[in-house]
Amino acid sequence: MHFLILGYGRFGQLALNRLKQTFPSAHFTIVDRQSDRLARIPMTSVRTLRMDGLVGLKSEFSDMGPDDWIIPAIPVHVAYEWMVQCFKETHHIEVLDVPGEILEQVPHPIRGENKAVYSSIADFICPEDCQEPESICSCTGKPRPIVLNDALANLKHRLFQPIVMYSRQLAPGVGGYRISDLNSALTAIIENSGPYLLATACKCHGVMHVFRLIPIRGRI
């Protein structure tokens, strides 16, 4: 098993330490543009790449198996930015505002940079070591009102069918998705005309982008 951890800031460090404990025989690659961060990695068995996280994902992608894991630990919507990279040679990417009809269907929506929308079933800061129990909130002890990744997959809109990357919890407070999940999302985009709503979410928190692909004349 191979884990590709994008970013070695606070959350990248937590991810490596906790995944190492949970999967001691796994292989790890850490991508970060700051050499001083990589120099602090205590395990000599961990492979490091000094580069931007998305550049590292692109360079490693073809060598990873379908069941290998991507652990996003950088402050961007990695799945969306990956799609931008996949299509930038043949298409203009027009980022759209997430429609109001969608905002009405998700809990606690917050607009972010580059027209991202964040959503969470929590109105408080969650603990970093959450175990993500199956049906209750580990912080409040109350039943989870919805499973956010399922709710996003079932969003209703007249123009598109949502594409949701399910971020599975792999260790306390650490989530990720497989290479095969990213490939499935890419296939869904290729096989449909758009516009697209692409979301990444665990059971409690998520981020989404809405975008359209406009072919560059003479390139496809």
3-state SS record for the chain: CEEEEECCCHHHHHHHHHHHHHCCCCEEEEEECCHHHHHCCCCCCCEEEECCHHHHHHHHHCCCCCCCEEEECCCCCHHHHHHHHHHCCCEEEEEECCCHHHHCCCCCCEECHHHCEEEECCCCCCCCCCCCCCCECCCCCCECCCCHHHHHHCCCCCCCCCEEEECEEEECCEEEEEHHHHHHHHHHHHCCCCCEEEEEECCCEEEEEEEEEEECCCCC
Partner residues linked to 3 by β-bridges: 28, 69
Domains and CATH numbers, the chain: 1-75 (3.40.50.20), 76-220 (no CATH)
Interhelix angle 78-87/53-61, rounded to 10 degrees, is 60
Give the per-residue pLDDT at 143. Answer: 82
Which residue carries 């000094």 as its tokens? 50
Nearest residue to 14 (alpha-carbon basis) of 86, 79, 73: 73
172 prior amide bond cis, ω within 30: no
Contact predicate 203/148, CB 8 Å: yes
What per-residue confidence (pLDDT) applies to 125? 80
Backbone φ and ψ for 18, nearest 5 degrees, come out as: -80, -35
**How far apart are alpha carbons 173 and 103 in whole angstroms?**
26
pLDDT tens for the chain, residues 1 to 220: 999 999 999 999 999 999 999 999 999 999 999 999 999 998 788 999 999 999 999 999 989 999 999 999 999 999 999 999 999 889 999 999 999 999 999 999 999 999 999 999 988 787 777 777 777 877 777 888 889 999 999 998 988 889 999 999 999 999 999 999 999 999 999 998 889 999 999 999 999 999 999 998 765 5
Closest CA relative to residue 88, chosen from 63, 133, 54: 54
